Amino acid sequence: MSFELPPLPYAYESLEPHIDTMTMQIHHDKHHAAYVTNLNNALKDTPAASLSIEDLLKEISKHPMAVRNNGGGHYNHSMFWQLLSGKGGGAPTGALADAINATFTSFDEFKKTFGNAGITRFGSGWAWLCVNGGKLVVCSTPNQDNPLMDIADCKGTPILGLDVWEHAYYLKYQNRRPDYVAAFWNIVNWDEVAKRFASAK
Ligand code: MN
């Protein structure tokens, strides 16, 4: 058994103009593919090779750094593709909207808090919206860490994530990470976030 690169759930160009086609091609076909290959190589002939990705992450401290970096990279990107849609954007509705308003006072305040988590992450990493103990929390992690990992500073079940590695935006936005973060809101697949929120609660 080994991990596989999931296909993008839409065409490379479908997130234009917010995320450009070439970034999507390189990000999925090269970066994500490399995480999968390197994860499989790191796990080869070890008992951990039969674990699910979630089980691997929750005891990641027991594994070598190559498993942490590439296992996180595989999980994070598999989730990220699902969270985006060319038909996305707008605002959440229903129970998720209620929880965001109750926690952050408004959707705009939530966007500020989440956006700042991404913008202020030094170097490479991710911004997250998580459910922890039934509550919504925003945080960020370095590198390919995520809140499912036992070593993470912020814990929880991630329901929205934003990749702020330069490879995610540099071709189109160069050093303007805040512009990429602003564009992200136009392509968030809130139906997918709501689904993850419902199952994480
Ligand atoms: Mn990435």
**pLDDT for position 135:** 97
**pLDDT for position 11:** 98
Q: Are 142 and 125 in contact (CB under 8 A)?
A: yes
Confidence of residue 74 (pLDDT cuts 50, 70, 90): very high
Q: Is the dihedral of CA 14, 18, 19, 20 positive or negative?
A: positive
Per residue in 2-23, pLDDT (tens digit) is 999 999 999 999 999 999 999 9
Ligand 1 mean position, distance from CA 53 (Å): 17
SS3 sequence, the chain? CCCCCCCCCCCHHHHCCCCCHHHHHHHHHHHHHHHHHHHHHHHCCCHHHHCCHHHHHHCHHHCCHHHHHHHHHHHHHHHHHHHECCCCCCCCCHHHHHHHHHHHCCHHHHHHHHHHHHHCCCCCEEEEEEEECCEEEEEEEECCCCCCCCCCCCCCEEEEEEECCHHHCHHHHCCCHHHHHHHHCCCECHHHHHHHHHHHC
Mean pLDDT of 143-161: 97
Q: In what order do the strands lie in the sheet with 125-132?
A: 135-142, 125-132, 157-163
Ligand 1 mean position, distance from CA 32 (Å): 7
Ligand 1 mean position, distance from CA 60 (Å): 20
Mean pLDDT of 72-91: 98
Confidence of residue 97 (pLDDT cuts 50, 70, 90): very high
**pLDDT for position 160:** 98
**pLDDT for position 48:** 92
Ligand 1 mean position, distance from CA 13 (Å): 17
Ligand 1 mean position, distance from CA 176 (Å): 16
Report the amino acid identity of residue 149.
M
**pLDDT for position 1:** 64
**pLDDT for position 171:** 98
d(CA 74, CA 51) in angstroms, rounded, equals: 14
Tokens 């839409």 belong to 10
Question: For residue 137, which phi and psi values (nearest 5 degrees)?
Answer: -140, 140
Mean pLDDT of the chain: 97
Tokens 């999980």 belong to 75
Per residue in 19-57, pLDDT (tens digit) is 999 999 999 999 999 999 999 999 999 999 999 999 999
Give the percent of the chain with pLDDT over 90. Answer: 99
